[in-house]
Structure 1
């Protein structure tokens, strides 16, 4: 049984046809990335899956249950965690207080383990959300969702606006989550980083899936990667991460 199965999704904003027959699946314990240029429909796909922007037609199945017309809270109750674009942490609460907002569910993740996974958050546990860098806020947003011990984790652009060194740290955490057995669907603009950690990749273009296959195979198609990644097509290498970390050190975000 797949953790997530999406078939022939058609989603509209008013009269604008945003998703045109989108189909994808995530197996249990698999990390899948959905790639595409800005405006391709990636975020709308996630919003349709979690019920925030319901599809007009098509189907969404989560752990064998048809959730197409369910409200978001019922979908979350199946063990679906959603980290939206923009982080949306509580700016006036401390890191520790932010982590105590979710009602913990049984599973491997608790606040103690979160601080082991995110040493940077442990160092700043008394800082308010607004005092954190962009990278720390993203870590906190992911950490807060992990405390729900989701069986399926959906992430929308977790690397957006982050320095390369912090991107590497965020993706390390995403991989660790998958290694714990959580199924992951990752929406990402950083093509290089995404295909390094993902098992499979989909590419969305103008509301339709135009590629499906192993992430490693997609990564080897240099022309396709560069066409999709545009200005972000630089090698995501240790050397460049090191160089960028020196430049980004003061802000760390």
Structure 2
């Protein structure tokens, strides 16, 4: 059974046709990245999957269950966790309090394990969200969703605005989630970093899928990477931790 099946998704904002027949799949325990330039429709795809911006046509199935027209909280109940763009943490709660907000769900993730994965959060657990750096806020945003023990994790631009070393730490966590059995759909503009960790890749351009295949294969097509990433298409080498 696939974790996610999206078929011929068409989504509008008013009269503007944003998604035009989008098809994509995420297998159980698979890390898939959706790439594209700004305005391509990547975030709208996540919003349509989550029910935040309902599709006008097409279908979404989560673990075999039709979810196209479900309210977002019902989609979440199917085992879907969303890490939105913008690190929406509780600014006036401490790290520890933020982590206690999610209702406990059975699964591999708990607060002690999250602290082992993000030692920086353990060090800062008494600090309020507004006192954290951008990278620490991103870590907290991901950690909070992991505590829901989702079976499908959706991430919207987790590397945005982060230093390379922090990007490495965040992507290590995404891989750890996949290795723990969580299916992952990663929306990213950092093309090199995304294809370095993903199993498969899709490219979205002007609301339509223009590439679907193995991430490593896409990474070898230098012309396509350059066209997609432009000035950020240089080879991505994750920095050493030391």
Give your verdict on TM over 0.5: yes
Aligned to 2:217: 217
Deviations 1:27-51 (CA, angstroms, capped at 9, x unpaired): 0000000000000000000000000
Distance 1:237 1:54 in 2: 38
Shift of 1:209: 0.1
Q: How does 1:53-92 map to 2 (within 5 A)?
A: 53-92=53-92
| Structure 1 residue runs without a partner (length 5+) | 247-253
Deviations 1:121-176 (CA, angstroms, capped at 9, x unpaired): 00100111011110000000000000000000000000000011100110000000
Q: TM-score, normalised by structure 2?
A: 0.98
Distance 1:111 1:86 in 2: 22
Kindly indicate whether residue 32 of structure 2 is the aligned counterpart of residue 32 of structure 1. Answer: yes
Distance 2:236 2:98 in 1: 31
Aligned to 1:185: 185
Provide the alpha-carbon RMSD of the alignment: 1.1
Shift of 1:73: 0.6
Kindly indicate whether residue 125 of structure 2 is the aligned counterpart of residue 112 of structure 1. Answer: no
Runs of 4+ aligned structure 1 residues displaced above 3 Å come to none
Distance 1:24 1:236 in 2: 26
| Structure 2 residue runs without a partner (length 5+) | none
Q: TM-score, normalised by structure 1?
A: 0.94
Shift of 1:222: 1.0
Distance 1:109 1:100 in 2: 13
Aligned to 1:3: 3
